[in-house]
Chain A
C-alpha cells in the first residue's frame, strides 16, 4: 500500500514536468510519423524521370514505369535537377527521355533513352535493369505498331492500339512467379514498421533518461526522510519500480492506440501483444531503476541514458531491420533485449504469431527483466541502507 503511495507521488512528479511529458508522449508519436513515412523503400526503386519534350510517346513510357512492379517514379523538369537528385540519393536512377521521342513512332526512327546510373553502384545497376526492361516493353509496342502499319491497312495509331490490346493475350514467354514463402521475417513497411520499433526504443530510452528522477530524489535527501518514517527500503524500491512500470505501460498503450487509430497498425494477437507489452514494460522498469542507481548526477543520466538507449536500439533493430545487416551484427544485436522484442513484434505483425509462437522471446525478455530489476533493486537497497 505504501509502495503504491510512493509510486503515485513519483508518477505525479514526473507528469507535472512538461518536458518529461513531451519525451514520454509527444516525441514517440512524432518519430513514428517521420520514420513511418521514410521506411518504405526497401522493396522499391525510386526512379526519377525527365520527360520534357518527349511528347505522347514519352508520356506512355512514364505511365508504363509508373505501373511497373517495384518502381516508384518522381518527375523532374530538367536534367540538372534530375542528376542532382541522383547524386544526393533521392532517386535510385534517373531516366532522361529524349525530346522528339514521337519521331520514333511517326518516322520509325530508333531512339535511345538515357538512364543515369553509376557503373560501380550496384544498387543503381539493379534499378537500371528494371527500368531498361520497361523501356524494352514499350519499344516492343512501337516495333509492333510500325511493323503492322507497314504491312497492313492499319494506320500507326490504330496499330499501336491493337498492339497494346494484344500484348497481354499474344502468346509470349511467360514469367511465372513462384513464391517460396508467404510469411515475412521482417516487419511490414511504413507505420507498421515504425510504431512497434519506436515503442521498443522509447519505453527503454525514456526509462533510462528517467533515471535522473531517482538521482534527484536521492540528492534532495527524500529517501532518507522517507526512511525516517515507518517505511522500509524495499517498499521504496517497489514504489519506484512500480512508477517506471506504470509509465512504460502508459507510453506503450498510447503508442498502440495512436498506431492503430491514426496509422492503421494491426498489432496482431491481442493476448500475445499484451504479454509482450507487459514484459517489455518490466524490462523498461529495470532499466530505469538501474539508470537511477548507476549514474551519479542527473546530467549523466540525461546524457548517457539517451546515448545508450539509441545505441542499443540500433543494435537491436529499432532503427533498421536486422535482416539487412551482416550475420555477425545480427548475432551481436541479440545480446540486447531490443532485438528479442522486435523479433516478437515481427512474429505478431508479419506472421500472425500467437503467445505460443513468441514464448521463446518472452522468456528471454523476462530473464532480462529479472536480471535488471534484481541488480538495480540490490544497488538501490545498498544506497538506501
Chain B
C-alpha cells in the first residue's frame, strides 16, 4: 500500500508541475462555466415587450388591453403603448418591442356583428415565439365570442329555423366553453445554464485525465521507469494501484474544486451535497477504469493518445457535455444513458431540478459503477500485460 501511495504521490507531483494539468483540471472548467453564466444571465426567463396600438378605445378593446396587463400576462410580457400601426411595424422591425398587437378602430362595436374587425399581430422573423404567444393570448380572449357565434351558425346549419337567429344568439351569449384548462405546478426547479454546464464542463475536463494519465504511463514505460520499479521489487498490482490512485485524487480534487467554486461564485445548483459528492466520486471511478482500459488496449504512447482523445470527445458528445441533452431528440437522450458521463449529467440535472438526495441519484450511481466494473475488469486483465 505504501508503495502505491508513493507512486501516486510521484505521479501527482509530476502532474502539478505541468501547468496543463492545472489548466484542464481547474482553469478551463471554471472559465467555460463562468462564460456560460455571463452569457445566459437574464436570458433564462421568457419575457418580452409587447407593443399595443389601441385605435378603438371601446369597451372590449379596453378589456383586452387590461387582460394583457393582468397579473398572469405580466409574468411573460410588458405592454408598451404605441401610437400607430406604422410605429408598431417600425418598433418590431428595430427590435424595440418583440411583437405588437393592433386593435383597429371600431373593433368593440363590430365584435358581435356579422363581420367583426380583425386584430393585427405584428411579428418579427427574429422573435417568432413572442408572435406566437401574442396570437395565443388574443385567440384565448376572443375564443368565447367566436364560440358563441359558431354555436349559432352550427345550429342554423343543422336545421334550426332561420327566424330563431335572435333567440339562439341570446341563448348562446350565456354559454361558457365547456373545455377549460387549469395550470398545476409540479414543484420542480428550473435547470439554469450554469447549473447544467458547471458539472458538464467539470466532467468534460475530468475526462481529459484519461489522455494525460495514459500518456504518462507510456512515457514512464518508454523511459524505463516501469522496469526500474519492477526491479525494486514492486508488484505490477502496486504500480497499477499507484497510477489509479493518482487519477482518483486528481479527478476528485478537480471535480470538488469546480463544484465548490461554481456553487459559491456563480450560483450553480448541484443539489444535495452528499448525493452530488457520491455521484461525482462514482464518475471519477469510471474515469480511473477508462484510463486503465486505454493503458491496457494501447501498445504505444501514440495509440494511447489516439484512443483516449477519441474516447474523451466521443463520450462528451454522446453524454451531453456540450449540449443540454434534454433538448435533443429522444434517440440521443437514450444514447447518453449508455455513457457514464451521460448518467452523471442525468443525475446532476435531477438533483438540480427534482431535488432529493441519494434516492434521486441511486440509479445513475449504480449504472456508472456497473460501467466501471465492466471496463475496470477488462482493463485489469489487459493492464497486467502492459505492466509486466
User: Contacts A38-B328, A179-B125, A326-B41 hold; do A145 and B131 have CB atoms under 8 A apart?
Assistant: no
In the bound complex, CA of A134 to CA of B144 (Å): 13
Q: Which residues of B contact A115 (CB under 8 A)?
A: 181-184
Q: Which residues of A contact B151 (CB under 8 A)?
A: 143-144, 147-148, 163
* Interface members, chain B 301-345 (any A CB < 8 Å): 302, 305-306, 309-310, 313, 317, 322-324, 326-330, 332-333
Q: Which residues of B contact A113 (CB under 8 A)?
A: 179-182
Whether the Cβ atoms of A114 and B181 lie closer than 8 Å is yes
* Interface members, chain A 173-218 (any B CB < 8 Å): 173-186
Q: Which of B89, B180, B205, B208 contacts A139 (CB 8 A)?
A: B180
Whether the Cβ atoms of A18 and B190 lie closer than 8 Å is no
Chain B's closest residue to A169 (CB) is: B153
User: Contacts A90-B333, A114-B181, A129-B76 hold; do A147 and B129 have CB atoms under 8 A apart?
Assistant: no
Interface-facing stretch out of A103-111, A224-232, A239-247 = A103-111
Q: Which residues of B contact A300 (CB under 8 A)?
A: 18-20, 23
Residues of B within 8 A of A (CB-CB), count = 124
Whether the Cβ atoms of A176 and B121 lie closer than 8 Å is yes
Say whether B92 faces chain A, with CB atoms less than 8 Å apart: yes
- Minimum C-beta distance from A157 to chain B (A): 11
Whether the Cβ atoms of A125 and B46 lie closer than 8 Å is yes
Q: Which residues of B contact A34 (CB under 8 A)?
A: 317, 322-323, 328, 332
Whether the Cβ atoms of B137 and A133 lie closer than 8 Å is yes
Whether the Cβ atoms of A329 and B39 lie closer than 8 Å is yes
Whether the Cβ atoms of B158 and A88 lie closer than 8 Å is no
- Minimum C-beta distance from A156 to chain B (A): 10
Q: Which of A38, A128, A179, A303 contacts B323 (CB 8 A)?
A: A38
Q: Which residues of B contact A166 (CB under 8 A)?
A: 150, 153-154, 157
Whether the Cβ atoms of A133 and B136 lie closer than 8 Å is yes
Q: Which residues of A contact B121 (CB under 8 A)?
A: 175-178
Q: Mark B245-264, 1 if CB is under 8 A from A, else 0.
A: 00000000000000000000
Say whether A304 faces chain B, with CB atoms less than 8 Å apart: yes
Q: Mark B20-53, 1 if CB is under 8 A from A, else 0.
A: 1101100110011001101111111111000000
User: Contacts A132-B140, A324-B43 hold; do A111 and B178 have CB atoms under 8 A apart?
Assistant: yes
Q: Which residues of B contact A117 (CB under 8 A)?
A: 183-185
In the bound complex, CA of A174 to CA of B120 (Å): 8
Interface-facing stretch out of A262-270, A307-315, A337-345 = A307-315
Q: Which residues of A contact B75 (CB under 8 A)?
A: 119, 122, 125
* Interface members, chain A 311-363 (any B CB < 8 Å): 311, 314-315, 319-320, 323-326, 329
**A-B pair number, CB within 8 angstroms:** 366
In the bound complex, CA of A112 to CA of B333 (Å): 32
* Interface members, chain A 155-179 (any B CB < 8 Å): 158-159, 162-163, 166-167, 170-179
Q: Mark B82-108, 1 if CB is under 8 A from A, else 0.
A: 000100111011000000101000000
* Interface members, chain B 252-291 (any A CB < 8 Å): none
Say whether B297 faces chain A, with CB atoms less than 8 Å apart: no
Chain B's closest residue to A31 (CB) is: B317
User: Contacts A122-B75, A172-B146, A310-B32 hold; do A128 and B154 have CB atoms under 8 A apart?
Assistant: no
Q: Which residues of B contact A43 (CB under 8 A)?
A: 128-129, 132
Whether the Cβ atoms of A110 and B186 lie closer than 8 Å is no
Whether the Cβ atoms of B350 and A142 lie closer than 8 Å is no
Chain B's closest residue to A27 (CB) is: B313
Q: Which residues of A contact B180 (CB under 8 A)?
A: 110-113, 135-136, 139
Say whether A77 faces chain B, with CB atoms less than 8 Å apart: no
Interface-facing stretch out of B3-11, B167-175, B228-236, B380-388 = B167-175
In the bound complex, CA of A181 to CA of B46 (Å): 22
- Minimum C-beta distance from A17 to chain B (A): 8
- Minimum C-beta distance from B224 to chain A (A): 20
Interface centre among B132, B138, B354 (most CB of A within 10 A): B132
- Minimum C-beta distance from B325 to chain A (A): 8
Whether the Cβ atoms of A37 and B23 lie closer than 8 Å is no
In the bound complex, CA of A163 to CA of B156 (Å): 11
Whether the Cβ atoms of B23 and A307 lie closer than 8 Å is yes
In the bound complex, CA of A364 to CA of B24 (Å): 31
Say whether B210 faces chain A, with CB atoms less than 8 Å apart: no
User: Contacts A113-B181, A179-B125 hold; do A320 and B39 have CB atoms under 8 A apart?
Assistant: yes
In the bound complex, CA of A230 to CA of B299 (Å): 39
Chain B's closest residue to A296 (CB) is: B19
Q: Which residues of A contact B41 (CB under 8 A)?
A: 326, 329
In the bound complex, CA of A110 to CA of B145 (Å): 18
Q: Which of B43, B129, B354 contacts A126 (CB 8 A)?
A: B129
* Interface members, chain B 41-89 (any A CB < 8 Å): 41-47, 72, 75-76, 85, 88-89
Say whether A63 faces chain B, with CB atoms less than 8 Å apart: no
User: Contacts A118-B185, A172-B142, A176-B119 hold; do A89 and B179 have CB atoms under 8 A apart?
Assistant: no
Q: Which residues of A contact B76 (CB under 8 A)?
A: 122, 125-126, 129
- Minimum C-beta distance from B139 to chain A (A): 4
In the bound complex, CA of A86 to CA of B20 (Å): 40
Interface centre among B115, B133, B182 (most CB of A within 10 A): B133
In the bound complex, CA of A297 to CA of B20 (Å): 9
Interface centre among A31, A37, A136 (most CB of B within 10 A): A136
Whether the Cβ atoms of A104 and B179 lie closer than 8 Å is yes
Say whether A152 faces chain B, with CB atoms less than 8 Å apart: yes
Say whether B149 faces chain A, with CB atoms less than 8 Å apart: yes
Chain B's closest residue to A307 (CB) is: B28
- Minimum C-beta distance from A159 to chain B (A): 5
Interface centre among B160, B186, B211 (most CB of A within 10 A): B186
Add 18 more A-B contacts to A61-B179, A74-B330, A139-B147 (CB < 8 A): A19-B306, A22-B309, A23-B309, A38-B332, A88-B326, A88-B346, A89-B190, A89-B191, A112-B180, A119-B75, A136-B139, A151-B155, A178-B85, A179-B123, A181-B92, A297-B20, A300-B23, A310-B32
What are 12 sample pairs from A and B whose C-beta atoms fall under 8 A apart? A22-B310, A34-B323, A113-B181, A119-B183, A126-B133, A134-B136, A148-B160, A151-B164, A152-B160, A171-B115, A177-B123, A179-B122
Which 8 residue pairs spanning A and B have beta carbons closest together?
A139-B179, A174-B118, A154-B158, A140-B147, A152-B158, A87-B188, A303-B20, A19-B306
B residues in contact (CB < 8 Å) with A? 18-21, 23-24, 27-28, 31-32, 35-36, 38-47, 72, 75-76, 85, 88-90, 92-93, 100, 102, 111, 114-126, 128-129, 131-133, 135-140, 142-160, 164, 168, 171-172, 175-188, 190-191, 205, 208, 211-212, 215, 302, 305-306, 309-310, 313, 317, 322-324, 326-330, 332-333, 346, 349-350, 353-354
